[in-house]
Amino acid sequence: MASSSTKAATSLAAAPSAPSPTGAQSIDRAGALLVSILDSGTTGERPPHVATLARTHDLPKSTTSRLLSALERQGLIQRDRDGAFHPGPVITRYARSGQGESALATELHPILVRLAQESGETVNLAVAGAQFVDLIDQVDGRYLLGARNWIGTPVPYHASALGKIFMAFGVTEIPSGRLEKRTPFTLTSQESLRAELAKVRAEGFATIVDELEEGLTAIALPVFDSAQRVVAAISISGPSSRLSSNTISEIVQKMIKAIGQPGKAGAA
């Protein structure tokens, strides 16, 4: 028969371990740092740096930096080039989902339906996300080939027609450094990308041919608000075999007519 001490040891081993005070304390501290960063974004204060947050919360700078890095890895915060912290893509995505994006998608959905009917191809509505193009609405065309749900898919700016619109019109910055090569046709140098964006600004629309995925072509136009600011972009995409250069010209004219924006950026 097992001794009482052995039974006690077995019982303790089987029991779930409670969170250590250190672990709970780290969660509390990380939560407090996150709240401070979110508050700075709503009160008009300057985005805080590590030193400011460490001083505000009476924490060692090394501890503050470690906790902030954990929050950043989860997409809850992000730091800019000056080292200041802002709400991250996860926070902004959920904040937008029930507010402006929903209203924008509702307002523009009939245009997507019209373009899908006229072109037969997939039509998407997107806004600029923190790191990727954020697709918020989609209407499929009549073709089975090429139909895919892009909503929720991380789409890089430099390899998409939608992303080129946002970069060309200054909605988001051009990514620094070497650009990811998605296909042999992806623009991967700063020089080639900047030249492409200059062309987009001049023509008022953007295209990709095999740059995001081989066999995929897309055309995108900006959506302006009443102050002539780009608030979204609409794209039509389909197999490159169907979207030839002649077809692209026709689609651009359909999009200009449906969206109500002139083809030249300077006239917008």
User: What is the pLDDT, as a whole number, of residue 81?
Assistant: 74
Domain extent at residue 210: 96-267
pLDDT tens string 129-148 = 888 899 999 999 988 776 67
> Quick one: average pLDDT of 172-188?
91
* SS3 label, residue 109: helix
| Phi-psi sector, 61: left (phi>0), alpha (psi -120 to 50), beta | alpha
Kindly tell me if the per-residue pLDDT of 39 is higher than 60. Answer: yes
Alpha carbons 170 and 62: distance in angstroms, whole number: 36
Alpha carbons 186 and 161: distance in angstroms, whole number: 12
* SS3 label, residue 192: helix
CA 104 to mean position of chain CA atoms: 16
Kindly tell me if the per-residue pLDDT of 164 is higher than 70. Answer: yes
78 and 123 together in one domain = no
136 and 65 together in one domain = no
Beta strands in 51-210 (DSSP E): 77-79, 85-87, 122-128, 133-139, 206-209
In a domain, 56, yes or no: yes
> Quick one: average pLDDT of 51-62?
95
Judge whether 171 and 128 are in contact, CB under 8 Å.
Answer: yes
Beta strands in 161-215 (DSSP E): 206-209
User: What is the pLDDT, as a whole number, of residue 120?
Assistant: 93
From 44, 64, 87, give the residue that closes a domain: 87
How many domains does the chain fold into?
Answer: 2
Kindly tell me if the per-residue pLDDT of 100 is higher than 90. Answer: no
Residue-by-residue DSSP string for 224-260: E-TTS-EEEEEEEEEETTT--HHHHHHHHHHHHHHHT
121 and 237 together in one domain = yes
Alpha carbons 43 and 85: distance in angstroms, whole number: 14
Alpha carbons 173 and 95: distance in angstroms, whole number: 21
> Quick one: average pLDDT of 96-115?
82
Place of tokens 């730091």: 79
Model confidence at 6, pLDDT cuts 50, 70, 90, reads very low
Alpha carbons 39 and 244: distance in angstroms, whole number: 50
141 and 233 together in one domain = yes
181 and 119 together in one domain = yes
User: What is the pLDDT, as a whole number, of residue 19?
Assistant: 43
pLDDT tens string 217-264 = 999 999 998 878 899 999 999 999 999 888 999 999 999 999 975 443
From 36, 66, 87, give the residue that closes a domain: 87
184 and 230 together in one domain = yes
Sign of the CA dihedral running 62, 68, 74, 75: negative
pLDDT tens string 10-34 = 443 444 444 444 678 889 999 999 9
From 39, 69, 87, give the residue that closes a domain: 87
In a domain, 6, yes or no: no
pTM of the predicted structure, to 2 decimals? 0.63
* SS3 label, residue 150: coil
In a domain, 76, yes or no: yes
142 and 260 together in one domain = yes
Specify the CATH number for the domain of residue 168. Answer: 3.30.450.40
74 and 153 together in one domain = no
Tokens for 268? 């917008």
Cβ neighbours of 194 (radius 10 Å): 14
188 and 207 together in one domain = yes
